[in-house]
Structure 1
Amino acid sequence: MADIQTTKTMKDTAYEAIKEGIVSGEWSGGTFLSEKYLSELLQMSKTPIRSALDRLEMIGLVKLSPKQGVIVQEISLKKILEIYELRLALETFAAKQMTGKLDDTFFMLMDRNLEQQAEAVKQEDVGLYVRLDREFHEMIVRGLGNDEFTEAMSRIQDKFLIAVRTTFVKNKKRLWGSLEEHIRIREALTARDVVRTEQLIAAHIEFVKTVLL
């Protein structure tokens, strides 16, 4: 039983480590990753590495080729725009359902996240800000208490982060704009103006899509 648990843990560790390398931009689209390199880097056998790569291929972050090996997938503009459309639908629906109905615990967690965002912006730490941005938006959808919505949001976030990270790296001033928009969204969620909340979230998501275009 202990061996089974250890193998499972190593598979998960490999999966999270490789995924983080891709999402953080350390390995950009088109990068070749050999099993040997990953095995040496993560100090584990090829078995958990292969399992991790299979999972990453299923969610579209890598492509396994018998001849070329492992290639980090390029995220096409078409795919990014599709992700934005799905995010728009998920988050505006969640906002409409939750405006004026969230408790103090929710806002305590959101305020903590916003404080950390502000510190990341001051430091111009794009990597940290992107992770906190992800938490902020997942928090909104998770507030619905609908597992299917939460799972759908989580599934698209890794690809979304690749796109949004590029936006912030190219224009670090956008970090301040993004933070200010998050603060306005937080304030709107405490009120009962459903239309305003929906408009703020839609404008926030559409802005980044416009930048990419």
Structure 2
Amino acid sequence: MDKQGGVTLRERAFQTVKRHIVNGEWPGGTFLSETFLSELLGMSKTPIRSALDRLDMMGLVKLAPKQGAFVQELSLKKILEFYELRLSLETYAARKLTGRMDAAFFRRLDDNIALQDEAILSDDVSRYVELDREFHAMIVAGLDNEAYTEVMSRIQDKFLLAVRMTFVRNKRRLLGSIDEHRQIREALAGRDPALTERLIEAHIEYVKKIMF
């Protein structure tokens, strides 16, 4: 399999196209032809097709047979559905994990929060959005349940579009977001599952307030 720098071409194509979509550079309805992507990424259409198939399964694009793909337009209804799923999953994780995690888990969270600080200082919204995703994914991964981790990954890829929009609309939200992450981290280290659940619910609720 062709590789560049240890990364397969289809993985590089997938990550690059996904990043453009999540960053809002290619909004809903944008047509992505195989020829355009092939020229942009400097690779054949084979890894491009593989990447588009994967993005189609995630719901980020809709395939146009033998042509390319259209970036999916997420309706407010769809965003709300993702919101409800994420809320259920993360509040469940909060209840289960509070007071039960080891030092390595908290080191990973602390490292992530330190990188969030750097992203805010450099005014890098896209980087912050990705770190926000990782922070929440690490919490769900703490359940050590592959099915939950897989569901969380699918939700996050779609929900990122809504999360990014909240930060673009209000950059001051970055400071509020990281402060809430710190509170959630401390609550997870405590002994009050109900507190952790309330903090996560309020944190995710902010996106709903902005979008609706």
Matched with 1:123 is 122
Matched with 1:25 is 24
- TM-superposed CA distance for 1:68, in Å, is 6.9
Paired amino acid for 2:45: K
- TM-superposed CA distance for 1:144, in Å, is 0.7
- TM-superposed CA distance for 1:195, in Å, is 0.7
Matched with 2:163 is 164
Q: What do the CA deviations read for 1:136-168 (whole angstroms, capped 9, x no partner)?
A: 000100011111110100111111111110110
Matched with 1:43 is 42
1:137 aligns with 2:136: yes
After TM superposition, the runs of 4+ consecutive aligned structure 1 residues lying more than 3 A away are 66-69
Matched with 2:152 is 153
Q: Distance in 2 between matches of 1:111 and 1:69?
A: 41
TM-score by length of 2: 0.94
**Structure 1 regions of 5+ residues with no counterpart?**
none
Matched with 1:74 is 73
Q: Which moved more, 1:65-74 or 1:87-96?
A: 65-74
1:13 aligns with 2:12: yes
Matched with 1:176 is 175
Matched with 2:83 is 84
**Structure 2 regions of 5+ residues with no counterpart?**
none
1:107 aligns with 2:99: no
TM-score by length of 1: 0.93
For 1:164, what is the secondary structure of its paired residue? helix
1:210 aligns with 2:209: yes
Q: Distance in 2 between matches of 1:11 and 1:123?
A: 30
For 1:181, what is the secondary structure of its paired residue? helix
